[in-house]
Amino acid sequence: MEIDKLMTYQEVVSSLNKKKRTKHLLFGNGFSMAFDNNIFSYNALSKFIEDSGDPMVTKLFERLNTKNFELIMQQLDNFCEIADLFSDDKTLVPKIKAVTEQLKNSLIDAVKELHPEHVFKIPDEKSESCMKFLQEYISRDGLVFSTNYDLLLYWVLMRNQVKNAIDGFGRDLETDLDSGEYIPPEDFEYSELRWGKYKKEMTVFHLHGTLPIFDTGINIVKVEYDNAHYLLENVKERIDHKEYPIFVTAGNGQEKLNHIMHNKYLTHCYDQLCAIEGSLVTFGFNFGEYDYHIIDAVNKAAKMGQKVKDKLWSVYIGVYSDENLEYINEIKDKFKCKVTPYNARTANIWNNK
């Protein structure tokens, strides 16, 4: 295979460390699929949805003959625009939008139901192995960017108490200290975890949202464990009350970017990707046609190829197959910095035997 001739993941890391180059990590669904392909692949998600008994969503999968959620949403959006122009039926566009929302909620439900129940379902050796993989970036002043919806990253960072893994969330003091009444510190009341307090120190970014992060309309909040419930149980409870996590599930890159720019948390994450310097290493993210907004961010970080000092110089893209490699070689010219594919099979993130 051609990918066997590529640099290994270890060679990429060693080379960048030798150059004393700041390196950042961007990973996509391949990160979670490497943990368990039966849970986190699109096929697994679509099968769950097909088996859920929702007739409209099932018909969509059958009629469009694809398991790609983004493609289905893109086609629904396109049809919505056409219907708005040519159809006299004023109920048609709202119906299409309702189906799109239904599909998005089905995706959330699928991720929620297929997900490992709690952090301790991840074996220690896998959690520790992943922690070391992430520390290679965070402990060396690098940033970690994820496009995944699931809890794996959150669980690994929390369980291993990874130093400098900061997601920007913190608590605000809600006790009135100006009341004139003495209140002992142990009786102070604090808010739920809100985003913003530590955003300048952030090192971990969820570019497309994630299960435990919700937009209340006023604050961006993060669901957490409590004494009575696991994290996923608390996420489920909010969803059962018709509150939904921040999820970017729009069809093409422009629509995803529009969603991102209408949410202050997502906008901040995207802006930080646009501002990285040094080198970017990717894993499980193939820069598909629905992710060109990420390529745009990379090019902004690369200062559009200008000859300046402080910028993103290179991207190392992990590929799993010769087909992946061929695709990356085809789109290389879209990047305004050096692109080097490497053999992603050599990055044993989860210590798989």
Taking only the tens place, the pLDDT of each residue in 321-348 is 999 999 999 999 999 999 999 999 999 9
Nearest Cα to Cα of residue 269 among 290, 303, 297: 297
Token duo for residue 11: 């060679």
Structure confidence at residue 46 (pLDDT):
64
- How much of the chain exceeds pLDDT 90, in percent? 48
**35, 126 in Cβ contact below 8 A?**
yes
* DSSP assignments along 260-285, one per residue: HHTSHHHHHHHHHHTT--EEEEEES-
- What span, in angstroms and rounded, lies between the C-alpha atoms of 116 and 251? 27
Q: Is the pLDDT confidence value at 125 over 90? A: yes
* 249 — pLDDT class (breaks 50, 70, 90): confident
| Ordered DSSP codes for 190-217 | BPSEEETTTGGG--EEETTEEEEEEE-S
For residue 213, pLDDT beyond 90 = yes
Q: What is the mean pLDDT of residues 214-225?
A: 88
pLDDT, mean of residues 71-99: 81
What's the pLDDT at 13?
A: 98
Stretch among 43-47, 60-64, 79-83, 118-122 having the lowest mean pLDDT: 43-47
Query: Is residue 347 within 8 Å of residue 315, measured between CB atoms?
Result: no
Rounded-to-integer distance, Cα 231 and Cα 139, Å: 26
Tokens of 263: 């949410």
* Predicted confidence (pLDDT) at residue 244 exceeds the cutoff of 90: no
Characterize 209-231 residue by residue with b for buried, 16 or more Cβ atoms within 10 angstroms of its Cβ, and e for exposed: bbbbbbbeeebbbbbeeeeeeeb
pTM: 0.85
